Each structure stands twice: as C-alpha cells, then as structure tokens.
Amino acid sequence: MKDASLTVREREVLAVIGRNASGKSTLSKLAAGILTPERGVATVDGLDTRDERLGLEVRRRVAFLQQNPESQFVSVTVEREIASGPENLGFTAADTRAAVGDMLDFFGLVELRKCPPSALSAGQMQKVLLASLLAMKPAYLVLDEPTSYLDPIERDAVSREVKRISQSLGTSVVWVTQFLYEAAALPRIIAVADGRVCFDGAVAGLQDDAATLALLGIDITELRQDSLGTPRLPGARSRCPR
C-alpha cells in the first residue's frame, strides 16, 4: 500500500475492488489489524493497531473472514466452531451459550449444530464462519473475498446474509470482492490499483469515470452487460434439459 487513506463509518457496508495483486487484500488486513502499517496509522475506534497492548481490544472490535472456507475451521462441530471465538475472547460460559444460540437462530443453523464442518457445503461453511465471527459481537466485519469459492447460488445467499447482518445487527462491513456485481449492489465502492485507493464513491460515479475504469481494467461494455449489473440469478423457470 502507498499513501492509502480510508475511513469506515459505523453501520456502513462498503465494497473493496481491485485487480489481482492490486493490494485490496492487504488493505483489508490492515483494516482488520492483522497487518500493521510501516508508515501512516491504522486505528479502530481510535485504537492504534500497532500498539500490541491494545491487540485484544482491536480483536474484540474487528472480525476477519478469508476466501477459502475450508482453511478456517478450528472445531469439530458447527456449534463448537461458533463457540470458539467468544471463548477465546473470555466470554463467560453463559454469555457464550447465549451468543451461540443467537447465531444458530440468526443463520438458520439450528439443525446443523452437531454437524462436522466437513459435512457442509461451501456456502453453509461460510455461513457458519460468519456466525462464528458475529458471535464475538464485533463492530466491524472485514470479508476478504468471501464468495470466491462459492457457486453463484451460494454467492447470492451469502450476499443476502451480509446485507441482513448490517441491517439487523448494525455491524459495519468491509467486503473485498472480485465480482463487480456484488460491489455494484453496495452504496460505497473503494477501488484499489497499484497499492493506492483510486476511487471512493457510489457505483454511478465509477461507471462515469473512464480513467479509473481503465486503471482497473474494467471494460465499460462488460460492465453494462453483466459484470456490474444485477446478479443474473433467475428462478427455476427453465426446465432441466434431458
């Protein structure tokens, strides 16, 4: 990253887009306090992420989700997975139980609570991981390409969950994505190119910004056709070919 500045406000949902190796993943890790800046400063509710004594306080406030769901499980059942975060943060047993119960309800996972994560689909795994992060009651959620490994139907389901999270729980969401249509559905887009924030605004502004589109390698005709349009996920109106 080079001289990148960004402020994420309370209850805000924003997308971070950029080409491979543009620095978008690094930006998200800096925001989550997983990486600390060599120059400049990253703060979470005023807490400097470079200050090791504040590490736990930063962790309480920001949760981070990676691309590949399979690489993130630490427990043998869905229920234990969701409990692991609150336990590590020192929640009491009663508070952990309550948080797990709330999250199982919120994500509709009650029936799967005794399942081993390996028995779940990739989409269900990401939901369980979202539940395990939100059980820690973070103020900010940083998602690093959470839908990359999912098929379009699972992607759509996870996207809807993320919007529901921000609306119902008031969690701010920083959502790194390579799917332009996912970004286009959010009120604010941050575009990263060559380690710099090259755009910060609404999708309408991006569509009109030819220089930034060129920098991002986005073809305007692509963007109008499907990439930045609504996700093309129709109902089951066509029948299965035989």
Partner 1 sequence: MELVLREVGFSYDRGLPTEKAVLRSLSLRVRAGEFVSVVGRTGSGKTTLGLVMAGLLKPQSGEVTVRPERPEPSDGHGVTGRLNVVMVFQVPESQFFEEDVFSEVAFGPSRLGIKGEELSTRVFSSLERLGLDAARISRRSPIRLSEGEKRKVAIASALSCEPLFLILDEPTISLDWQASTHLLSLLRRLADSGVSVIVMTHEVEHAVRYSDGLAVLSRGTLSASCRLTADDVYGCWKERG
Q: Which residues bind partner 1 (CB under 8 A)?
A: 18-21, 67, 121-123, 145, 148-154, 178, 180, 217-219, 222, 226-227, 232-242
Distance between CA atoms of residues 128 and 65, nearest Å: 11
Q: What angle do CA 56, 57, 62 make, to 5 degrees?
A: 95
Query: What is the nearest approach in angstroms of partner 1 to the Cβ of residue 226?
Result: 6
- 3-state secondary structure string, 185-215? CCCEEEEEECCEEEEEECHHHHHCCHHHHHH
Query: What is the nearest approach in angstroms of partner 1 to the Cβ of residue 228?
Result: 10
Query: What is the nearest approach in angstroms of partner 1 to the Cβ of residue 49?
Result: 26
Question: For 40, phi and psi rounded to 5 degrees?
Answer: 75, -170
Q: Are 14 and 40 in contact (CB under 8 A)?
A: no
DSSP single-letter state for residue 134:
H
Query: What is the nearest approach in angstroms of partner 1 to the Cβ of residue 234?
Result: 5
Nearer residue to partner 1 within complex by CB, 37 or 152:
152
Structure tokens at 131: 């539940």
Nearer residue to partner 1 within complex by CB, 147 or 172:
147
Amino acid at 220: I
Nearer residue to partner 1 within complex by CB, 18 or 86:
18
Nearer residue to partner 1 within complex by CB, 11 or 224:
224
Nearer residue to partner 1 within complex by CB, 23 or 85:
23
Query: What is the nearest approach in angstroms of partner 1 to the Cβ of residue 91?
Result: 32
